[in-house]
Amino acid sequence: MKKLRVVFVIIFVVCVMLCNITYANNEFNQLTLGTSNNTPNTNTTSNTNTNALANRTENNIQMNGTMEGNANNSNTTNNLNYKVVGNEITITGVKQEITTVNIPSTIEGKNVTTIGEGAFYKRNDIISINLPNTIQYIENFAFEGCENITEIKLPDNLISIGISAFRDCKSLKQVEIPCNVVKEFVFFGCIKLESIVYSNGVKKINLSNFNDCNNLKEIHIPSSVTEIQSELSIEDEWVLKNTNVTFYVENNSYAMQFCQKNNIKYVVTNGEGQQSQGQQSSEQQKQSQEKQPSQQKQTTEEQKQDPTTASTILPKAGLKYEIILTIILIAIGSGFFYKKHNYWKGVK
């Protein structure tokens, strides 16, 4: 009977040791690996047909085979068609087979302030256009389809640019935008466009302007911008998904925060288009972040191979204390049984 009780106590102590060692291992694994399954999946898919969305705008006006430049109510001067609107002049078109268009600042003593809707629609014979600083408005489809215009200097006093105003200007390479452009598809299909520069003072921009600009490499956004709009949702926006596009932004600006939030490649500049010293581009930050998981993985592998790492030290530490506890329990148990044995021996 005595031997059976001793065996029972030993088995009990061993079970307690195994349970504690298993518990210690589980706690350690949860501590080191428990957060790995909490990373959200940020992959999104896009099913929006952006071409169909862009094409709907052209259907909003009635072409009827002609544009405003051929309207009967237009006047003509120096091969330009125009109309008088109050005390201002709106350019409505130009004579055919004119390759260079020079728009004057005044006509009939009135300021030329507007390029009318569709004024130069699909005029492939035009190579260059010179706009005066009096121009404040470029209306919808004004230069759409002018495939041979390579550059255009937008006036500093420009206030607004209409829908698809420069759509399918397939030779246009660079544009500096001095105003808030929030209408959609302004530069849609400008397949040779490489650089967009927003002037300081611009507050609102619309990224859907650059759909189908397949060669776009740079978008310069000043710190004055406080709103970046899009006709489409963020995950469907073409320019955000194009890895060739780099946003040039100023440090701590709204545009920089927008790029960080939407995982857009960007370079921090000093406001003059030059990268600021001491500032990392988003690519450099990405490379730095990619090194961290690699280093963590390498450390984990080393821990698995090194018997002195925490994953093995913790159970060993638990085992050390359990051995001490076992010795104490055995000593107490032995004393108890010794006294009990002597007691019953005396009774007998």
Q: Where along the chain do its domains lie?
A: 52-172, 193-293
Is the pLDDT at 47 greater than 80? The verdict is no
Answer whether residue 116 shows pLDDT above 90.
yes
Closest by CA position to 25, among listed 316, 304, 297, 306: 316
DSSP state of 201: T
Angstrom distance (rounded) from CA 90 to CA 142 = 11
Mean pLDDT of 174-187: 89
Q: 12: helix, coil or strand?
A: helix
Mean pLDDT confidence for 51-64: 43
- Is residue 259 within 8 Å of 247, Cβ to Cβ? yes
pLDDT at residue 78 greater than cutoff 60:
yes
Q: Among 25-34, 140-149, 319-328, 332-341, name the one with the lowest average pLDDT.
A: 25-34
2 confidence band (pLDDT: 50, 70, 90):
low
Instruction: Specify the pLDDT at position 198.
Output: 95
pLDDT tier for residue 50 given thresholds of 50, 70 and 90: very low
Neighbours of 343 (CB within 10 A): 10
Determine contact, residues 50/211, Cβ cutoff 8 Å: yes
Segment 302-312, tens digit of pLDDT: 555 555 544 44
* Residue 20 pLDDT greater than 90, yes or no: no
Among 103, 117, 114, 101, CA closest to 149: 101
Mean pLDDT of the chain: 74
Say if CB 280 and CB 273 are below 8 A apart: no
- Residue 242 clears pLDDT 70, i.e. is over it: no
Structure tokens at 249: 């932004």
% of the chain beyond a pLDDT of 90: 43
pLDDT over 80 (residue 181): yes
What was the pLDDT predicted at 229? 82
What pLDDT score was predicted for residue 209?
87
Which range scores top for mean pLDDT: 31-45, 54-68, 274-288? Answer: 274-288
In the chain, the percentage of residues whose pLDDT exceeds 70 is: 53
DSSP characters over 212-233? T-TT--EEE--TT--EEE-SS-
Q: Which of 162-166, 257-261, 289-293, 330-334 has the highest mean pLDDT?
A: 162-166
Instruction: Check residue 13 and give its pLDDT.
Output: 62
Query: Which neighbouring-strand residues pair with 203?
Result: none
Overall average pLDDT of the 104-133 stretch? 96
pLDDT at site 313:
47
Rounded Cα–Cα distance for residues 151 and 176 (Å): 10
Which CATH number describes the domain made up of 52-172?
3.80.10.10
Which of the listed ranges 211-220, 294-303, 336-345 does the model predict with the highest average pLDDT? 211-220
For the entire predicted model, the pTM comes to 0.62
Alpha helix ranges (H) inside 197-281? 238-241, 254-261
Judge whether residue 250 has pLDDT over 60.
yes
| pLDDT of the residue at 244 | 82
What DSSP string describes 60-119? TS--TT--GGG-TT-EEETTEEEEEETTEEEEEEE-TT--EEE--SEETTEEEEEE-TTT
Q: Is the dihedral of CA 151, 152, 156, 161 positive or negative?
A: negative
Q: What number of CA atoms fall less than 13 Å from residue 324's CA on the CB side?
A: 5
Say how far apart CA 115 and CA 132 lie, in whole Å.
Answer: 11
**Mean pLDDT within 226-244:** 66
Q: Indicate the range of 32-36, 43-47, 192-196 predicted with least confidence.
A: 43-47
| Torsional class of 90: left (φ above 0), alpha (ψ -120 to 50), beta (otherwise) | beta
